[in-house]
Copies of this chain bind each other. A is one copy, B any other.
């Protein structure tokens, strides 16, 4: 077992449970014409309507706190749901306004989208400490935008599997890295149009894989950053698997479950690896363009 400077005393690893409440924006951000597809829209609405309450029940029963990332568009239409989650002790995170990838926007577009979401959360009255890009598709400007607005962390980049700092002209922010292998999208997302995936894994197999990842994280002193979506994991057998996964983490005894904000706050004075955040410079013609 590795001990690393960033780990809380006595901890072999840390777990963050995060839920991206994309709802309709999960498909509208891929293509506005998704709005013509009634079944697909209801498939997404299941998330806030059924998935979130079910997940809140499980978290409450196990007495753990999580982070719910909301696109501003979704929060604007469900302020009561946002408030209910926050009042149960969970964190609300910033997940852009429209869920459209920041990497497809100009910096100005990204700032306006970012600020529009902040304004929604301000009106609802929930504090915002951190950000996750839609589809994790941060731009090369995203960390600076976050730092300029005084948020303390991002959770979109994958340069490490432990927390690290990302340098910006306005000071560094903490990166709490997610990864594709700890996301339920790649396990459960199936929708032909917009095509968001063709994945229907057995929740028992997903549970088995993620339990092993928790155990491996304990060996290497890693951050188990779970990204789940209520429209996916809110389905019955998947919700049961989530509950069993949390039970496994709790049973380990040395893997504290923290909200992303709690973790970022604990790290504010800790020395972490610092990464530059700059677009690679490419020699003209070396790599193909399609």
Contacts and interface: CB of A to CB of B under 8 A. Distances in A.
Contacts of A100: 286-288
B220 A54 contact: yes
Contact of A186 (B50, B190, B280, B287): B190
Nearest to A217: B236
A200 B180 contact: yes
A122 to B, nearest CB: 20
Interface stretch (A60-68, A133-141, A247-255): A133-141
A148 interface: no
Contacts of A287: 25, 28-29, 31-32, 98, 100
Interface in A141-198: 142, 156-161, 177, 179-181, 186-188, 190-192, 197-198
Interface in A84-134: 98, 100, 103-104, 133
Contacts of A46: 158-161
B277 A38 contact: yes
A208 B204 contact: yes
A177 B46 CA distance: 11
A30 B287 CA distance: 8
A236 to B, nearest CB: 4
A191 B180 contact: yes
Contact of A190 (B43, B180, B235): B180
The 3 closest A-B pairs by CB, nearest first: A216-B236, A32-B287, A42-B159
Given A38-B277, A179-B235, A203-B209, 8 more contacts: A30-B288, A49-B160, A204-B209, A213-B236, A216-B236, A216-B237, A217-B236, A220-B239
